[in-house]
A and B are shown apart, each in its own frame.
Chain A
Amino acid sequence: EPEVTQTPSHQVTQMGQEVILRCVPISNHLYFYWYRQILGQKVEFLVSFYNNEISEKSEIFDDQFSVERPDGSNFTLKIRSTKLEDSAMYFCASRDTRLAQETQYFGPGTRLLVL
């Protein structure tokens, strides 16, 4: 069964450093998402991406964040200058845009630790 994959599974970085989290959505899906989950808290929406542009973003997704689809398969989240509070599990999700296909499929996550 097709699945969303994410790399790396874990990333440790120093505060102020740039990180790039990578995702490979399910191949025939056209809607992509990033969510994050701070330890012990809810899963929160960050951004959605469709047709090579951001379709919606939350208040969390400030200028430090950016997303990109550099090729036909990868979808990346970049945090330009990491802060301690960026430590969280980051999930990528994708969704088929065909009629009545509403389920979002999540990847296994990247656990980011900012020191």
Chain B
Amino acid sequence: SQQGEEDPQALSIQEGENATMNCSYKTSINNLQWYRQNSGRGLVHLILIRSNEREKHSGRLRVTLDTSKKSSSLLITASRAADTASYFCATDASGSARQLTFGSGTQLTVLP
């Protein structure tokens, strides 16, 4: 798989349920960031987790990072219809400019 690959590609859940998305990457990273994109719109930054961190919380979001497995997960608890969007992980790895490498994304649909 390529740097920053999410699974599943698509996820459909009922409102109130939890949604878990996973991301795998190949190289060493400085940090990993999660973004949300509503259909055809811009990228909204959700949360950043550094390579020396294992878990981070922000509101209904929980991110974990396992650098030994080169993987991360994003958990959205008590999902709402407004959470319907594409979710991307992006790794900040090589390059002096700290440019991001994005995965293919998970399309989350939360049904009311």
**Interface residues, chain A, with chain B CB atoms under 8 Å away:** 31, 33, 35, 41-45, 48, 50, 55-56, 58, 89, 91, 93, 95, 102-109, 111
B103 to chain A, nearest CB (A): 7
Q: Could you write out 5 A-B pairs with CB less than 8 Å apart?
A: A42-B105, A43-B43, A50-B97, A102-B98, A108-B42
- Total chain B interface residues with beta-carbon distance under 8 A: 26
**Interfacial residues of chain B within 84-104, with CB under 8 A of chain A in the complex:** 88, 90, 92, 95-104
B88 lies within 8 A of A43 (CB)? yes
A67 to chain B, nearest CB (A): 12
B40 contacts A by Cβ under 8 Å: yes
Within the assembled complex, what's the spacing in Å between the Cα atoms of A106 and B34? 12
Interface SS majority for chain A = strand
**Interface residues, chain B, with chain A CB atoms under 8 Å away:** 30-31, 33, 35, 40-45, 48, 50, 88, 90, 92, 95-105
A104 lies within 8 A of B100 (CB)? yes
Q: A102-B48, A105-B45 are in contact. Are A31 and B102 (CB under 8 A)?
A: no
Residues of A within 8 A of B30 (CB): 102
Q: A42-B104, A102-B92, A106-B35 are in contact. Are A91 and B43 (CB under 8 A)?
A: yes
B42 to chain A, nearest CB (A): 4
B99 lies within 8 A of A103 (CB)? no
Q: Which of B88, B97, B101, B103 contacts A56 (CB 8 A)?
A: B97
Q: Which of B35, B43, B97 contacts A55 (CB 8 A)?
A: B97
Residues of A within 8 A of B105 (CB): 42
Q: Max chain A CB contacts within 10 Å: which of B97, B98, B101, B103?
A: B97
